């Protein structure tokens, strides 16, 4: 297995700053979400806000494992788009849409990565269900993180909950280690088995970012080489945080102040009762 770096105190300080600023931009995006704006408008807002914070938008020109550089500064993934949606002038937010906005800032060489799904206008019951299950899935994954636990514990907690809610977990994309690189080991699967995988150690920094689907879990990449959609074109929702493993648990580096507008609006939502 490839080594997972344990971050130094100095690196952790750098990551705290990048993550805090990425969280602030995501919160600011929440305030502009409404029917009628385009995903290009979201990109323009992120470009300006990122610059104002003295940060660099990591997505622009990022190549990942493919050859095609990502053409914009933020990922905007609407409805059946699982992740890596490309902002465009022609894509206008419609009443009832759900949209994941994924923000990654680079500050002093360190990456801070976070995303949330927002409601555009009035959502359907199905949109609320998949979005709130995705939100809770991330929380349940985070609750597993502490030194001595294993990476498989995270995926198991998420899969058990999401499938129990009659939804599926995307397998093609994972959480990831992060630091001076956007994506580094370990891969954090959002499905799997308890007591499997590598041990979690203090000083590791990684993301958890479950993508939860209404229908089947399979993803398909569109000809633009980036946009990942559900093969059955049913809804998908996602939330992401960057996390530091501490001596006694976890610090959410991308934690927000206050309520996330147009997202944290169903405080009365509760999971469906599971038939036994």
Residues within the interface to ligand MF3 (CB under 6 A): 59, 62, 64, 70, 75, 84, 102, 104, 113, 209, 226, 240
Nearest one of 162, 106, 152, 145 to 252, comparing CA atoms: 145
**Residue choice 49, 80, 113, 184 for contact with Co ion (CB under 5 A):** 113
Taking CB positions, which residue lies at the least distance from ligand MF3? 59
Contacted entry of ligand MF3, Co ion, none for residue 87, CB cut-off 5 to 8 Å set by kind? none
238 binding partner (options ligand MF3, Co ion, none; Cβ < 5 to 8 Å by kind): none
Task: Tell how far CA 189 is from the center of its chain.
Answer: 13
Within a 10 A sphere around the Cβ of 2, how many other Cβ atoms?
8
Minimum distance between the CB of residue 73 and ligand MF3, rounded to whole angstroms?
8
| Sole residue written with tokens 């990551």 | 15
How big is the site for Co ion, counted in residues (CB under 5 A)? 5
Give the residue, chosen from 25, 73, 207, 230, that forms a contact with Co ion under the rule CB under 5 A. Answer: 207
CB of 267 to Co ion, least distance (A): 25
For the CB of residue 111, give the shortest distance to Co ion in the complex, in Å: 9
CA angle, residues 87, 27, 75, in degrees to nearest 5: 20
Judged by CB, which is closer to ligand MF3: 123, or 151?
Answer: 151
What the block records as the tokens of 125 is 């019951």
The total of other beta-carbon atoms located within 10 Å of residue 212's CB is: 32
In whole angstroms, the minimum distance from the beta carbon of 196 to ligand MF3 comes to: 22
Partner in contact with 43, chosen from ligand MF3, Co ion, none, beta carbon below 5 to 8 Å by kind: none
Q: CB under 5 A: which stretch of 14-22, 24-32, 108-116, 117-125 binds Co ion? A: 108-116
Q: How far apart are CA 204 and CA 250, in angstroms?
A: 10
127-135, 159-167, 225-233, 236-244 -> range binding Co ion (CB under 5 A): 236-244
Q: Is residue 263 part of the contact set for Co ion (CB under 5 A)?
A: no
Would you say 100 or 123 has its CB closer to ligand MF3? 100
Residue 102 as a binder of Co ion (CB under 5 A): the answer is: yes
Residue placing its CB nearer to ligand MF3 in the complex, 206 or 217: 206
CA distance 120 to 177: 31
Is residue 97 involved in binding Co ion (CB under 5 A)? no
Closest distance to Co ion from the beta carbon of 251 (Å): 17
The residue (of 24 and 113) whose beta carbon lies closer to ligand MF3 is 113
Would you tell me which residues interact with Co ion (CB under 5 A)?
Answer: 102, 113, 115, 207, 240
């Amino acid at each position: 297995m490839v080594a997972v770096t344990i971050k130094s105190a100095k690196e952790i300080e750098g990551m705290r700053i990048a993550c805090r600023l990425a969280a602030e931009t995501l919160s600011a995006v929440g305030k502009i979400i409404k029917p009628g704006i385009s995903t290009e408008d979201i990109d323009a807002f992120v470009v300006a806000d990122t610059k104002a914070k003295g940060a660099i938008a990591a997505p622009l020109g990022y190549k990942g494992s493919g050859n095609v550089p990502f053409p914009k500064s933020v990922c905007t993934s609407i409805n059946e788009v699982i992740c890596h949606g490309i902002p465009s002038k022609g894509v206008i937010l419609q009443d009832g849409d759900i949209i994941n906005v994924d923000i990654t800032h680079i500050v002093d060489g360190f990456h801070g990565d976070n995303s949330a799904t927002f409601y555009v206008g009035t959502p359907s019951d199905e949109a609320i269900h998949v979005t709130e299950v995705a939100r809770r899935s991330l929380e349940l994954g985070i609750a597993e993180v502490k030194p001595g636990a294993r990476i498989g514990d995270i995926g198991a907690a998420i899969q058990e909950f999401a499938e129990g809610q009659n939804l599926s977990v995307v397998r093609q994309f994972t959480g990831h280690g992060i630091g001076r690189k956007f994506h580094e080991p370990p891969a954090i699967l959002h499905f799997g088995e308890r007591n499997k995988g590598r041990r979690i150690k203090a000083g590791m920094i990684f993301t958890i970012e479950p993508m939860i689907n209404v229908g089947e879990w399979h993803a398909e990449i569109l000809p633009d080489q980036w946009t990942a959609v559900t093969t059955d074109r049913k809804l998908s929702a996602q939330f992401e945080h960057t996390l530091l493993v501490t001596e006694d648990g976890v610090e959410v580096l991308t934690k927000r102040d206050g309520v996330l507008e147009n997202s944290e609006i169903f405080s009365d939502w509760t999971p469906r009762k599971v038939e036994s």
